[in-house]
Amino acid sequence: MSSGGLELPPGDGGHEGGSADAPGGAPGGASGGVPEGAGGGGGTGGSGGVPGGAVSLAAPEAGAVRAGAELDWGADAWTEVRTRAQRAGRAYIWLNLIEQRLRSVVGAVLRPIYEPVHGEDDWVVVAAGPAGQEWVQRAVAVREVSRRKGYLLDPADDNVLSFLTLPQLRELMVQHWPCFEPYFDDRREIELALDELEVTRNVVSRNRALSRAVLEQAERASARLLEVLGGGAGSPSADRLPIDAVEDLVGDRYADVVSVHPDRVRLQRQLPAEDLFGGARRLDAIGIGLNLLVQNYSGRRLVRLTEAGCRVRLLFLNPASSAVKRRERELGLRKGELSRSVEMNILHVRRVRAGLRDPSRFEIHVFDETPRFTAYLVEGENSGIAVVQSYLRRARGMEAPVLVLRGGGARASAAPRDVEHGLFPTYREEFESIWQDSRPVS
């Protein structure tokens, strides 16, 4: 053993005429050995060199590739991983809701038919029939393993039905469709929605990448399927602003804030004025000029909305007040420019009111206080929505960040609520307070 490495066994000393005793050489000559200097020092016997016929065990030099360097993740890799996790988590919530709902439906329909005859544990096995014996026996085996290992955390899950997967629940439903037909009109719609979910289920169960397009398709299919399966009043609905399943589960983390947009342009891409105001039963708006309503929702639509039963209350900043002049200076506008804009908007809504059969349902007021925010509080029969913006010193309303809030609707607002208030009632109270101190426009 030398200081530079581990000596190899000697080779054939007479190979190709080379001498095994040649100083510094390899057995068999240069053609069969280590070239001079390849050992790190080129010499023999030195502390840093490797003698001929030896392999170096010294640590690699600085800058050399180390084993495991490829395990490091950069910023781009972490961004991609988080995106995958967010999409998979979102899809899993929908799939979990669908599976729970379908399991409940299958149990509610088939249990009364099979359980009285075959017992609590065997009715699922019998219902699966000969075609489903393989997967139902696998579910029975998994249940037994879960029992032994303590994986059953809820006694309510200690049944074979709880161990069936979404495709197996679907198979039970299809096999016994005459039993389900009295409750559901369209078998094809249910099967098509479950087909659309199968790709997402497969991807999520194997922790593979889920594209945005497939995720959005799965969310639409899940919402449609929950509606068909009769999820009840608490299920995501297709009302003014459809309730997102993720929002429904974790929305209490953010009070009643549905979304946040950096400006009004991006808001209107996601929530056009037609979707925001259409079909409202109550519309209260406060702001300087209420441009979101006046400039994006036509007078004819306002007339039709009011004639259909909507109560409208509009609260403008008084164009003759000192607050308008201060706002003009903040925005760097010419004197009188903002006040004229507000006056034109007020004239427009006055013409709308003049064309109504019952003008008392369309009220216009002005206030003189310093404007702190603009808010559009829109309520339908069962749901409400608010669009709120704070006024920034150097930014116009179009450029200010936007909060979208979810309210309870006209019926819910009339009923007492025991839950903790969100932001919607806060802005409602602020609107009512300013309305009481405002003056009507003739």
Say what the pLDDT of residue 382 is: 72
Say what the pLDDT of residue 62 is: 56
Residue owning tokens 């009188």: 336
Say what the pLDDT of residue 393 is: 87
Residue pair 393/400 in contact by the 8 Å Cβ criterion:
no
Closest CA to 88 of 196, 192, 211, 195: 211
What the block records as the tokens of 181 is 């037909």
| Amino acid sitting at position 333 | L
- Taking the alpha carbons of 16, 18, 20, 24 in that order, is the dihedral positive or negative? negative
Contacts of 152 (CB under 8 A, 6+ apart): 146, 158
Helix (H, G, I), strand (E, B) or coil at 14: coil
The DSSP result for 85-114, as a single string, is HHHHHHHHHHHHHHHHHHHHHHHHHHHHHH
Say what the pLDDT of residue 9 is: 52
Say what the pLDDT of residue 144 is: 93
Say what the pLDDT of residue 411 is: 46
Rounded CA gap, 142 and 163, in Å? 7
What the block records as the tokens of 221 is 């299919």
pLDDT tens digits in sequence order for the chain, 442 residues long = 444 444 445 554 444 444 444 444 444 444 444 444 444 444 444 445 555 555 455 555 655 555 555 677 888 888 888 888 888 988 998 999 899 999 999 999 999 999 999 998 899 999 999 988 999 999 999 999 999 999 988 988 999 999 999 999 999 999 999 999 999 988 999 999 999 999 999 999 988 999 989 998 998 899 889 888 875 544 444 455 555 656 665 555 667 888 899 999 999 998 899 989 988 999 999 999 999 999 999 999 999 999 999 999 999 999 999 999 999 999 999 999 999 999 999 999 999 999 999 999 999 999 999 999 999 999 987 778 999 999 998 888 889 999 999 886 554 444 444 445 689 999 999 999 999 999 999 8
- Taking the alpha carbons of 303, 305, 310, 313 in that order, is the dihedral positive or negative? negative
Rounded CA gap, 43 and 40, in Å? 9
Say what the pLDDT of residue 257 is: 87
What the block records as the tokens of 441 is 């426009």
Q: What are phi and psi of 318, to 5 degrees?
A: -60, 115
What the block records as the tokens of 209 is 């990448």
What the block records as the tokens of 27 is 């057995």
Rounded CA gap, 17 and 323, in Å? 106
What the block records as the tokens of 378 is 């829109």
**What angle, 0 to 180 degrees and rounded to 10, lies between the N-to-C axes of helices 166-175 and 133-149?**
140
Residue pair 258/378 in contact by the 8 Å Cβ criterion:
no
What the block records as the tokens of 60 is 């690699």
Residue owning tokens 């608010």: 386
